[in-house]
Amino acid sequence: KNEVEQSPQNLTAQEGEFITINCSYSVGISALHWLQQHPGGGIVSLFMLSSGKKKHGRLIATINIQEKHSSLHITASHPRDSAVYICAVGGSQGNLIFGKGTKLSVKP
Amino acid sequence: EAGVAQSPRYKIIEKRQSVAFWCNPISGHATLYWYQQILGQGPKLLIQFQNNGVVDDSQLPKDRFSAERLKGVDSTLKIQPAKLEDSAVYLCASSLNRGSGYYEQYFGPGTRLTVT
């Protein structure tokens, strides 16, 4: 069993829809990250959180430490949101353990 | 502030050949990471440096992969000899990590390696 599990693996949505990507982890963490990766591009950090909820524009990330679960929400989705979204958990040494990613495609 | 720089961006080699990748982290970042990302998977840590010392290289295939970070700044990752299964994107990242606490990682654009 992977230490970081994401669902769904692939997601297709219509522009304007509300999107949720889930992440479950099985290890102790110091922080959880949500990252975005565009095709052919590098990785950009969206959120780093260790409790509660964070919001940036149309993106919202939540984490439940007791349940070892986090969600990434995108409100009013847009085609430019199409990318791979990766959940990663941070260990005590600063290393990251990554999920396999969720490929999101938003159709106009 | 300049980001993490990597070169080359793309490389195609034949199996059994050698290849080297270069990374220049964000100025002042003490920690440097090399990740391997195979198509369809999340990145996997190969090696983590704190300044010029190795913190974690448990997943580095040491029979063919080597990495160094002389002077605690730039780093090179080498594969010798390459195998078909080494085809992947090699990502470099850096973070402050100057002591206790947790610091955000910043990623370079990656080097896409194709081994034929």
B35 close to B91: Cβ distance less than 8 angstroms: yes
Q: How far is A59 from chain B (nearest CA, A)?
A: 18
- pLDDT tens across A30-50, in order? 789 999 998 876 899 899 888
Distance separating alpha carbons of residues B39 and A34, to the nearest angstrom: 19
Average pLDDT along chain B: 92
Nearest residue to B108 via CA among B43, B18, B64: B43
Q: How far apart are CA B87 and CA A21, in angstroms?
A: 28
Q: For residue A45, which residues of chain B lie inside 8 Å, CB to CB?
A: 104-107
- Which residues of A26-82 form beta strands (DSSP E)? 31-37, 43-49, 52-56, 59-64, 69-74
Q: Name the residue with tokens 């990242």.
A: B93
Name beta bridge partners: A39: none
Contact residues for B22 (Cβ-Cβ < 8 A; gap 6+): B6, B7, B74, B75, B76
pLDDT at B100: 52
Arithmetic mean of pLDDT, B83-95:
95
Q: How many whole angstroms from its chain centre is CA A10?
A: 13
Give B17-33 pLDDT, tens digit per residue: 999 999 999 999 999 99
Cα(B29)–Cα(B2) distance, integer angstroms: 12
Closest C-alpha to A56, from A41, A42, A68, A45? A45
Interface check B106 vs A, CB under 8 A: yes
For A29, the closest chain B residue by CA position comes to: B102
Scan for tokens 């270069």, then name that residue.
B22
| Residue A86 touches partner B, C-beta closer than 8 Å | yes
Q: Is B97's Cβ below 8 Å from some Cβ in A?
A: yes
- CA-based nearest distance A95→chain B, Å: 8
pLDDT for res A20: 98
Determine the 3-state secondary structure of A59 from DSSP: strand
**Is residue A100 less than 8 Å (CB to CB) from chain B?**
yes
Chain A environment of B93 (Cβ under 8 Å):
43
Considering chain A, what percentage of its residues have pLDDT values greater than 90? 72
Mean pLDDT of B34-56: 91
Smallest CA–CA distance from B104 into chain A, residue: A48
Nearest Cα to Cα of residue B48 among B64, B34, B68, B65 = B34
DSSP code for A7: E
**Averaged over B58-65, what is the pLDDT?**
95
Whether chain A has a CB inside 8 Å of the CB on B25: the answer is no
Structure confidence by residue, pLDDT tens digits, A74-104 = 999 999 999 999 999 987 666 788 999 999 9
Point out the residue among B33, B55, B109 whose CB comes nearest to the CB of A42: B109
